[in-house]
């Protein structure tokens, strides 16, 4: 049994130096009362990235996917969902709306949809950049050349979660994909000068605290600029539909520890966290998060982008990631809304 005093010392050390080993991480992840970790993460968040919460306007432009990730409702073999693709004009309309309400970053996300040619995506990116808006892509694994072309067209950031750093679990959940290629993608993105976001799904069947600690070590090692960490939410018509799903408290511990090891990065309070827990955004913002991603897509399509259930209620204005709701929520927490593009302001330790 580790004494309370030792825990205190460990957290103090982490708060001051942002370094920790795997065993110590497991100890902290297993803590029954994590309030000390949360408070330390909140202090570090305030010190390094301030009270601003950056809004990233999310556009889910296609729900076609050729992959078969076990947890995801968009997986190719799921024939029960209606598929859609947005036209480039529709995407740009959403971007213009985002710009008109002051958003400075747009996130273009989709399944792995080979229908969109790189040149089409490049043209869309070029149009968006004319509006002086940062572009984040979240469109999965591509070749080095494709990533380079998208960068050249103006893409600034890329989100590609590693999902789990445990190779065996990764392979089990991603038939036909390879862990090595996932890492190759992240390395390419870094090399090409993108701000790189990765992250994990928390609560996957078979995932242990050791594996989550290993995820945190990986984030530190690759010096991720952004980290998206959310609970796995079981989705009907997928191989994991009867599994239990992630626990909010462990997600919050992962967020807080991420902030403590990488103090100056951008960390969203994720939509999945808010879907799993009504107070999820608020809890996330108090545990180190400084970003939220409102959905600025088209209502008709939002309903069809079913990575997991609960994302879009019958009335989309009641969705957790509705822009107006999010703005109110941020202000209610005495936080401010970021006005610039919200790049990582790297502070070297
Ligand atoms: N196809 C792209 C982007 C869309 S999926 C990609 O995979 O990178 C975006 C994220 O949704 C994934 O990284 C995954 O972590 C998350 N996701 C998928 N299914 C989920 C589920 N059932 N519960 C919670 N998050 C899920
Ligand atoms: Fe496709 Fe992404 Fe879902 Fe995997 S997580 S099935 S790549 S949309």
Ligand 1 mutation pick, 65, 72, 189, max ligand atoms within 8 A of CB: 72
Mean pLDDT of 189-211: 98
Mean pLDDT of 272-282: 97
| Closest CA to ligand 1's atom 1 | 111
**Quick one: pLDDT at residue 4?**
81
Higher pLDDT, 41 or 1: 41
Distance, C-alpha 239 to centroid of its chain: 23
Structure tokens at 66: 């050729």
Number of C-beta neighbours around residue 221 at 10 A: 9
Q: How far apart are CA 119 and CA 337, in angstroms?
A: 34
**Quick one: pLDDT at residue 69?**
98
What letters, b where the CB count within 10 A reaches 16 and e where it falls short, cover 30-47?
eeeebebbbebbbebbee
**Quick one: pLDDT at residue 5?**
84
Q: How far apart are CA 264 and CA 279, in angstroms?
A: 24
**Quick one: pLDDT at residue 348?**
64
Number of C-beta neighbours around residue 123 at 10 A: 14
pLDDT tens-digit readout, 307-341: 999 998 888 788 899 999 999 999 999 999 999 99
93-to-131, 271, 322, 349 alpha-carbon distances in Å: 12, 23, 17, 42
Closest ligand to 77 CA? 2
Nearest to 73 by CA among 111, 115, 109, 116: 111
Distance, C-alpha 180 to centroid of its chain: 20
pLDDT tens-digit readout, 3-13: 888 999 999 99
By DSSP bridging, strand 226-227 and strand 195-198 are parallel
Q: Which atom of ligand 2 is nearest to the CA of 141?
A: 7
Structure tokens at 77: 């073999």
Which residue, chain included where needed, has tokens 């968009």?
A: 74
Distance 174 CA to ligand 2 centre (A): 9
Round the average pLDDT of the chain to a whole number and report it.
97
Backbone phi, psi, residue 135, to 5°: -115, 125
Mean pLDDT of 44-50: 98
**Total count of residues recorded for the chain:** 349
| Closest CA to ligand 2's atom 6 | 75
- In the chain, % helix, strand, coil (3-state, to 5) comes to 45, 15, 45
Q: Which CATH superfamily is domain 34-337 in?
A: Aldolase class I (3.20.20.70)
Q: How far apart are CA 263 and CA 251, in angstroms?
A: 17
How far is the first Cα of the chain from the last one, in angstroms, to the nearest whole number? 32
Sheet containing strand 291-292, edge to edge, reads 291-292, 52-55, 336-337
pLDDT tens-digit readout, 131-182: 999 999 999 999 999 999 999 999 999 999 999 999 999 999 999 999 999 9
Asked whether the beta carbons of 259 and 199 are under 8 A apart, the reply is no
Q: What percent of the chain has pLDDT over 70?
A: 99
Asked whether the beta carbons of 283 and 277 are under 8 A apart, the reply is yes
Q: What does pTM read for this prediction? A: 0.98
Closest ligand to 251 CA? 1
Q: How far apart are CA 59 and CA 295, in angstroms?
A: 6
What residue ranges line ligand 1, CB within 6 angstroms? 71-72, 109, 111-112, 138, 140, 160-161, 163, 201, 230, 232-233, 235, 272, 307-308
| Closest CA to ligand 2's atom 2 | 111
Mean pLDDT of 109-115: 97
Distance 149 CA to ligand 2 centre (A): 22
**Quick one: pLDDT at residue 1?**
61
Q: Which atom of ligand 2 is nearest to the CA of 111?
A: 8
């Amino acid at each position: 049994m580790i004494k309370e005093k030792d825990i205190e010392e460990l957290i103090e050390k982490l708060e001051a130096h942002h370094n920790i080993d795997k065993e110590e991480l497991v100890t902290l992840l297993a803590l029954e009362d994590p309030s000390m970790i949360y408070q330390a993460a909140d202090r570090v968040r305030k010190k390094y990235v301030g009270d601003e919460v950056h809004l990233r306007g999310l556009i889910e432009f296609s729900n076609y996917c050729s992959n078969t990730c076990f947890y995801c409702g968009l997986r190719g073999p799921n024939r029960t969902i209606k598929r859609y693709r947005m036209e480039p004009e529709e995407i740009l309309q959403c971007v213009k709306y985002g710009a008109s309400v002051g958003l400075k970053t747009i996130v273009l996300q989709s399944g792995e949809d080979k229908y969109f040619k790189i040149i089409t995506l490049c043209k869309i990116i070029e149009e968006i950049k004319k509006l002086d808006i940062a572009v984040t892509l979240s469109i999965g694994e591509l070749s080095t050349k494709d990533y380079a072309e998208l960068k050249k067209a103006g893409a600034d950031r890329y989100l590609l979660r590693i999902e789990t750093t445990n190779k065996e679990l990764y392979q089990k959940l991603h038939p036909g994909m390879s862990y090595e290629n996932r890492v190759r993608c992240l390395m390419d993105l870094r090399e090409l000068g993108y701000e790189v976001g990765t992250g994990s799904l928390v609560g996957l069947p078979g995932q242990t605290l050791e594996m989550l600690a290993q995820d945190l070590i990986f984030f530190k090692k690759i010096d991720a600029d952004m980290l998206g960490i959310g609970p796995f939410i079981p989705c009907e018509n997928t191989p994991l539909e009867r599994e239990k799903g992630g626990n909010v408290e462990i997600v919050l511990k992962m967020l807080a520890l991420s902030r403590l090891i990488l103090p100056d990065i951008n960390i969203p309070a994720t939509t999945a966290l808010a879907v799993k827990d009504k107070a999820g955004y608020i809890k996330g913002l108090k545990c180190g998060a400084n970003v939220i991603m409102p959905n600025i897509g088209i209502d008709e399509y939002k309903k069809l982008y079913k990575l997991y259930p609960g994302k879009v209620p019958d009335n989309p204005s009641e969705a957790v990631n509705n822009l107006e709701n999010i703005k109110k929520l941020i202000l209610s927490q005495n936080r401010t809304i970021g006005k610039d593009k919200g790049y990582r302001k790297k502070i070297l330790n």
